[in-house]
């Protein structure tokens, strides 16, 4: 007999129990959660017997493609998501306008000129300026780290193209946390190089495995008015390590960088919302979602088409099963996560007076789900919520998505922590995620339909219980 079943007997079938008074609110909640077992089984069965998450993913990614903020494709995706949720019968489906920055890549290239001619695969970084029309041709200076750059005298850096050859550790070594360190070079490398007089910055792509694969992503000019804004691009591991090997052998490579990248001002975009309205406390909201925008390469299938369609289809499964929770479950597809988070900030601003009980974002890819991470502003509440969440996820034992971690949720949903919301992120088997992250290879074939189904089920189950259970997550 399971612990939960025992608790159920203790609380409901043994009124004379001398421990009744210590069968606290915690135990009450646990037993309430255990009471959802049949519904959870029904959700799992319904999802596995067939769902439209993979079809939705194809419609979004194969038919529309990549969806950079300000692009025509993102507008199509926003329209598609509304039509799709309306076709599913969701309530209050609509778009909420958001102004976003429109950055455009244009043509771009990187080639080694000396010691021999060789094209180097690259992707300009989002937010970067372009080069002059004639490009920037300069000697290369390769450094393995920021510290190595800092230690060099200015005259060795001035007028060079600085190459940051910092290697992101393998997933097996860091369980993904290596990204946090390596991405600093992508975000800040141009500033570090410009502060020392460099003409441009090339950053080794933020990945531990490359098949000549450049990874784009956002960069920032954060150095203040005295620091020149210089072009910044990601090059492949292959390119960066070639330049490093040449330099180590006493050869100074010369590289020509050409970029037409430019900011085209503001553009109109939108978040997309759709609801399963609650039966008893419709004003209390449980959000599930992902971000509808992507970079302008690949088709944004894992990042974050998978998150969007999993949330949309989770709601669809609940509706098809005729399940209507006490609270409202709201799908939110945020815009502009990749280069501005204007969507998340706009959502917060527009909806801050509503009661957001909980929010779950799926933005780590549609791989096999492992559980949920949770983040709350109040640490004590986060602790309680994590324990309650663990009870909820016990019901997901059939798909092994039972793990609770703390301290992070998602870039978009995380904005809601300021409202006291229990913010969560779907955690998945992340071994392959960063191989395709922000690349031409982030395409539908990387998403396994069964794994996407399990993500969808996890969202459906968690959203259902969070929206229907007696108390709120994090309440004692």
Q: Which residues are catalytic?
A: 337
- Of 103-111, 263-271, 285-293, 440-448, the window that binds a second copy (rule: CB under 8 A) is 440-448
List the one residue from 89, 211, 222, 418 that touches a second copy (CB under 8 A).
Answer: 211
Q: Which of 260, 258, 160, 149 is nearest to 201 (CA)?
A: 160
- In whole angstroms, the minimum distance from the beta carbon of 76 to a second copy comes to 10
List the one residue from 271, 388, 402, 439 that touches a second copy (CB under 8 A).
Answer: 439
- Of 34-42, 283-291, 437-445, 453-461, the window that binds a second copy (rule: CB under 8 A) is 437-445
List the one residue from 89, 115, 180, 407 that touches a second copy (CB under 8 A).
Answer: 115
Residue 213 or residue 456: which is nearer to a second copy going by CB?
Answer: 213
List the one residue from 13, 18, 116, 353 that touches a second copy (CB under 8 A).
Answer: 116
- In whole angstroms, the minimum distance from the beta carbon of 73 to a second copy comes to 9
List the one residue from 48, 220, 324, 440 that touches a second copy (CB under 8 A).
Answer: 440
CA atoms within 13 A on the CB side of 113: 13
Which residues in the 32-61 window bind a second copy by CB under 8 A? Answer: 58
443 binds a second copy, rule: CB under 8 A: yes
Find how far residue 45's CA is from the centre of its chain: 27
List the one residue from 37, 113, 242, 321 that touches a second copy (CB under 8 A).
Answer: 242
Could you count the other beta carbons within 10 Å of the beta carbon of residue 9?
Answer: 13
Which residues are bridge partners to 147 per DSSP? none
378 binds a second copy, rule: CB under 8 A: no
349 binds a second copy, rule: CB under 8 A: no
Alpha-carbon distances, residue 462 vs 273, 396, 410, 447 (angstroms): 19, 9, 16, 22
Each residue 284-303 as x (binds a second copy by CB under 8 A) or -, in order, gives: --------------x-----
Q: Do 291 and 412 touch, CB atoms closer than 8 A?
A: yes
- Of 14-22, 361-369, 394-402, 441-449, the window that binds a second copy (rule: CB under 8 A) is 441-449
Residue 335 or residue 435: which is nearer to a second copy going by CB?
Answer: 435
151 binds a second copy, rule: CB under 8 A: no
237 binds a second copy, rule: CB under 8 A: yes
24 binds a second copy, rule: CB under 8 A: no
> Which region holds residue 336: left if phi is over 0, alpha if psi is between -120 and 50, else beta?
left
- In whole angstroms, the minimum distance from the beta carbon of 209 to a second copy comes to 8
- In whole angstroms, the minimum distance from the beta carbon of 241 to a second copy comes to 4
- In whole angstroms, the minimum distance from the beta carbon of 238 to a second copy comes to 5
List the one residue from 5, 17, 20, 118 that touches a second copy (CB under 8 A).
Answer: 118
Find how far residue 92's CA is from the centre of its chain: 25
62 binds a second copy, rule: CB under 8 A: yes
Residue 54 or residue 192: which is nearer to a second copy going by CB?
Answer: 54
- In whole angstroms, the minimum distance from the beta carbon of 467 to a second copy comes to 33
State the chain's maximal CA–CA distance in angstroms. 87
List the one residue from 229, 245, 350, 380 that touches a second copy (CB under 8 A).
Answer: 245
396 binds a second copy, rule: CB under 8 A: no
- In whole angstroms, the minimum distance from the beta carbon of 67 to a second copy comes to 13
- Of 32-40, 208-216, 305-313, 408-416, the window that binds a second copy (rule: CB under 8 A) is 208-216
List the one residue from 156, 212, 352, 450 that touches a second copy (CB under 8 A).
Answer: 212
Residue 233 or residue 444: which is nearer to a second copy going by CB?
Answer: 444
# residues near a second copy by CB under 8 A: 29
Residue 422 or residue 444: which is nearer to a second copy going by CB?
Answer: 444
Residue 190 or residue 444: which is nearer to a second copy going by CB?
Answer: 444
238 binds a second copy, rule: CB under 8 A: yes
- CB contact set of 406 (below 8 Å; sequence gap of 6+): 373, 374, 375, 382, 383, 386
| Residues of the shown chain interacting with a second copy in the complex, contacts defined by CB under 8 A | 58, 62-63, 65, 115-116, 118, 121, 209-213, 237-238, 241-242, 245-246, 249, 298, 435-436, 439-441, 443-445
């Amino acid at each position: 007999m399971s612990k939960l079943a025992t608790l159920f007997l203790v609380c409901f079938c043994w009124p004379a129990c001398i421990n009744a008074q210590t069968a606290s609110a915690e135990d009450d909640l646990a037993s309430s959660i255990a009471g959802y077992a049949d519904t959870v089984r029904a959700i799992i069965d319904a999802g596995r017997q067939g769902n439209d998450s993979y079809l939705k993913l194809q419609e979004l990614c194969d038919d529309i493609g990549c969806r950079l903020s300000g692009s025509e494709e993102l507008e199509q995706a926003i329209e598609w998501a509304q039509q799709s949720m309306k076709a599913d019968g969701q309530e209050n489906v609509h778009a909420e306008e958001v102004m976003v920055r429109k950055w455009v890549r244009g043509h771009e290239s990187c080639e080694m000129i000396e010691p021999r001619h060789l094209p180097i695969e690259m992707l300009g970084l989002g937010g970067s300026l372009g080069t002059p029309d004639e490009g920037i041709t300069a000697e290369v200076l390769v450094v393995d780290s920021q510290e190595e750059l800092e230690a060099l005298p200015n005259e060795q850096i001035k007028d060079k193209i600085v190459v940051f050859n910092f290697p992101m550790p393998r997933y097996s070594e860091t369980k993904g946390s290596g990204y946090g360190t390596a991405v600093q070079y992508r975000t800040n490398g141009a500033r570090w190089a410009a502060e020392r007089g460099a003409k441009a910055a090339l950053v080794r792509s933020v990945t531990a495995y490359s098949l000549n694969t450049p990874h784009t992503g956002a960069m920032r000019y954060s150095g203040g008015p005295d620091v020149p804004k210089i072009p910044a691009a990601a090059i492949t591991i292959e390119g960066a390590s070639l330049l490093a090997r040449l330099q180590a052998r006493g050869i100074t490579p010369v590289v020509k960088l050409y970029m037409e990248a430019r900011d085209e001002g503001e553009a109109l975009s939108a978040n997309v919302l759709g609801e399963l309205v609650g039966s008893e406390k419709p004003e209390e909201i449980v959000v599930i979602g992902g971000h509808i925008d992507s970079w302008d390469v690949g088709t944004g299938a894992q990042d974050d088409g998978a998150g969007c369609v999993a949330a949309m289809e989770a709601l669809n499964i609940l509706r098809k099963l005729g399940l209507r929770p006490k609270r409202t479950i709201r799908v939110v597809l945020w815009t502009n996560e990749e280069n501005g988070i204007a969507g998340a900030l706009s959502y917060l601003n527009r909806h801050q007076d509503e009661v957001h009980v909980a929010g779950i974002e799926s933005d780590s890819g549609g791989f096999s789900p492992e559980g949920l991470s949770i983040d709350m502003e109040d640490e004590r509440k986060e602790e309680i919520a994590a324990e309650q969440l663990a009870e909820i996820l016990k019901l997901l034992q059939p798909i092994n998505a039972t793990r609770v971690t703390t301290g992070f949720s998602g870039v978009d949903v995380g904005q809601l922590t300021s409202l006291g919301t229990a913010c969560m992120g779907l955690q998945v088997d992340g071994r392959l995620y960063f191989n395709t992250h922000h690349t031409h290879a982030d395409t539908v074939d990387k998403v396994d339909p069964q794994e996407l189904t399990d993500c969808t089920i996890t969202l459906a189950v968690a959203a259902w219980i969070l929206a229907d259970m007696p108390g709120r997550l994090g309440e004692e």
